[in-house]
A = this chain, B = another copy of it.
Amino acid sequence: MQPAATDGLPGEFALIARHFRPLAGPAALGLTDDAALLVPPAGRELVLTVDAMVAGVHFLPDDPPDLVARKLMRVNLSDLAAKGAVPLGYLLTVAAPRATPEAWFAGFAAGLAQDQAAFGFALLGGDTTSTPGPFSLSLTALGHVAPGGMIRRAGAQAGDGVFVTGTIGDGALGLLAAQGRLVDHSGYLRDRYRLPQPRIGLLRPGLVAAGMDVSDGLVQDLGHLCRAAGLAATIEAALVPLSPAARAAGPEWLPTCLTGGDDYELLLAAPAAAEPELRTVAAEHGVPLTRIGHFHAGPPGVIVRGADGIVMPLPVGGWSHF
């Protein structure tokens, strides 16, 4: 596609002007300079994270572009949420096949606009390029926290409860449903795969001992909290919250729910004394919160007990790209 140039500018600049300039926050200088200029919020620390998404790996090539944009933004917002950070702004790269219709960019930008408004985010800058391969996207997210207030992976203590928000496994099952490998009459699972719900605003400094979001699978990500704390964790499979759609898929999918990726729920460590306040905050936000196990002394790693009390054998690890 070669969109008509406007103002004597070649297509690439016209594309940026039409679709991305309306998303630019004040620091982006209208996307008319070579860099953004950001005055950091006074007395705050910056939290920075970046995620890439590739068509055929992280989303399906025919996924609607607005949902692709919103997922790209939300997987990064989910990291900010898990760190207790307030969203500030983002930089974006889009490598798109040359034959990409302008409607794809319009849809992509519309998705960004929708979630910028929903989450108080603003575009700071970006780069648009062609690629001979599939769509390849990246988003760098900036947030801010009070000094010392970032929630870390490290910090769990023996005896702390293991908590998760929402339901686990919908993302992994939703991918299978989108691929036609699992029946999903309502489309609920597919929608959960396509559009995660970042838990922005739930956490604040001191509310939990440690935390991260579940992106590579509950068991693998809980393993990260264990290694950071030098502790083991035992969780009860029967306590792991599943959506009605995930339950309807049948018990044979439980291991997939426990180890599959793309949940983007929060995984938290909190001592018993903090549990009432954590539950109150979650309830105020309308976010389901479930205690699924606890941390304890032992070689860093995750033990999953089945409903029969016997340790469940699970496939090793979660999603790895290499």
Residues on A lying within 8 angstroms of B by beta carbon are: 1-3, 5, 7-13, 15, 27, 29, 32-40, 45-54, 56-58, 79-80, 82-83, 85, 91-96, 98, 100, 124-134, 136, 138, 140, 143, 145, 147, 150, 152-154, 212-213, 220, 223, 227-228, 301, 316-318, 320-322
Report yes or no: A129 in contact with B57, Cβ–Cβ below 8 A.
yes
Cα of A58 to Cα of B130 in the assembled complex, Å: 10
Report yes or no: B34 in contact with A38, Cβ–Cβ below 8 A.
no
Which residues from chain B contact A35 at a C-beta distance below 8 Å? 47-49, 79-80, 83, 85, 143, 150
Interface of A is mostly: mixed
Residue among A8, A52, A318 having the largest count of chain B Cβ atoms under 10 Å: A52
Which residues from chain B contact A85 at a C-beta distance below 8 Å? 35
Report yes or no: A11 in contact with B322, Cβ–Cβ below 8 A.
yes
Which residues from chain B contact A131 at a C-beta distance below 8 Å? 54, 56-57, 133-134, 136
Q: Return A141 CB to nearest CB of chain B, in Å.
A: 8
| Of B5, B48, B92, the contact of A91 (CB 8 Å cutoff) | B48
